[in-house]
Chain A
Amino acid sequence: MGIADLKQIVEALLIASPEPLTDARFRACLKDEATNIPLADIISELETDYTKSRRAFEIKKVASGFQIVTKSEFEPYIKGLFSKAGKLRLSQAALETLAIVSYRQPVTKNDIEAIRGVSSDSSLRTLLDRKLLEIRGRDEGPGRALLYRTSTEFLQYFGLNTVKDLPKLREVEDILSEEQDELL
């Protein structure tokens, strides 16, 4: 099968896939018509086509896979499709909770609240409802508290490829030296 056929197949898969298309899933879909060409190569061919023909969308590498997304300049028009003014943004509390989970996962509600110093029930609920977090088992310790971790949707939402892509959390020492500098 030639690259032209593969490009079409990948394009079809990208549009129909309910989640970012991974190399493994792509191969599984090909079944007998196996190819050695990596998905990433076919994707980059498609991207070239899209740029040439000025498409309104682009391919994003996210959650270890690929996804077709609209280009940002069309947001003002796309917003007209939705009753609410675009997507709902996360609250400060939810963002803090999410930050703690993403760097320390798996964590319990207690771990989160110990760091935030404030009850985090409602932000946890919001994040679970929006599927940015998921429950993954229970803690071994007393009480067998639920353990939370980030989901694939979390990676999609923030445009991250893997959790390892998160910017490194600043060291306490750095924060301290900055505090000192400010005082001087």
Chain B
Amino acid sequence: MDKPLRVDLEMFEGPLDLLLFLIKRDELNIYDIPIAKITRDFLVYVGMAKELKLHSAGDFVLMAATLMKIKARMLLPQDPDGDEEIEDPRTELINMLLEYKRYKEAAVTFEELERSERPHYYHIPAPWTAEEEDQTAILEDVKLYDIMLTFQYLLKNYEEPLTHHVAVEEVTLSEQAGYLSSLLQTKGKISFLNLLERFESRLIVVVTFLAILEMLRSRQVKVKQSKLFDDLLISRGAEFGNR
């Protein structure tokens, strides 16, 4: 019989995957899993997981505990009167296994689709940069998630040395909002990157960014971006000037 003696735990996507493997290997009936045996086999693998320091070891240990709980519940005597139908303690586990198996199979389908699409290549035209931009931006509605990512990325240039000085920085949100408004009044649009060059401290950058978000919310400004991590182009919004 074709039974591998030792199988790497890393082969498995998780405890459910391992259980499905054990069931298939020993040709077990998924509806009537011999819980004592499968728990024993499972624990052998979890023992390996401890050595391997797998990051998902916790998920395996949790399943081991679940299996032992089911095993204990199966040892309890049945209701002596036999009046009440006692649910098989394995039911929940069986349902989980079957549900997981459906998606594991679907993943195979996706892999096949991936394989058939892989040999096809297509050309993606380079997006325009913010400078070339006129009325039409590539991404009209920049999502908040994109803006946050960009900000996080840009802020890396403002890593400050670890020193201890306590000084009160006189900068407020409304001040920066006013500053942005006056810039927009004269210039029409501002590049976020250029804007940052004017500021020396991280705090001012953060406050300015918050001011932009606030103005974005109240539709005083619009923000456009040509691609992720790219410069943000700030221009007047529908409600510009109405405060």
Contact = CB atoms under 8 A, between A and B. Distances in A.
A182 B29 CA distance: 9
A116 interface: yes
A156 to B, nearest CB: 8
Interface of A: 15-18, 60, 67-75, 78, 86-87, 89-90, 92-93, 95-96, 98-100, 102-103, 115-119, 135, 156-160, 167, 169-170, 172, 175-176, 179-180, 182-183
A115 B118 contact: no
B114 A157 contact: yes
B101 A175 contact: yes
Nearest to A17: B125
Interface in B57-108: 58-59, 63, 96, 98-107
Contacts of A67: 122
Contacts of B63: 117
Given A68-B123, A70-B121, A98-B107, A170 B102 contact: yes
B110 interface: yes
Contact of B103 (A16, A75, A115, A118): A115
Which of B13, B96, B103, B111 has the most C-beta atoms of chain A within 10 angstroms of its own C-beta? Answer: B103
A182 B23 CA distance: 12
Nearest to B19: A117
Interface in B98-148: 98-107, 109-111, 113-114, 116-125, 127, 138, 145
Contact of B111 (A95, A115, A182): A95
Contacts of B124: 18
A119 B16 CA distance: 12
Given A70-B122, A96-B13, A115 B100 contact: yes
Contacts of B105: 170, 175
11 contacts: A15-B125, A67-B122, A72-B119, A90-B110, A90-B111, A99-B106, A100-B103, A116-B16, A157-B117, A167-B109, A175-B102
Given A69-B120, A78-B121, A90-B111, 5 more contacts: A86-B118, A89-B118, A93-B13, A160-B113, A179-B31
Interface string B18-57: 0000000001011100000000000000000000000110
B63 to A, nearest CB: 7
B110 A158 contact: yes
Nearest to A135: B145
Nearest to B29: A183
A117 B16 contact: yes
Nearest to A69: B120
Contact of B110 (A17, A18, A99, A170): A99
Given A18-B127, A158-B113, A159-B113, A117 B106 contact: no
B19 to A, nearest CB: 9
Contact of A117 (B15, B29, B31, B114): B15
Contacts of A176: 30-31, 98
Contacts of A167: 106, 109
A90 B120 CA distance: 16
A118 B59 contact: yes
Contact of A115 (B27, B99, B121, B122): B99
A32 to B, nearest CB: 18
A78 B100 CA distance: 37
B114 A89 contact: yes
A117 B59 contact: yes
Interface in B3-25: 13-16
B99 to A, nearest CB: 6
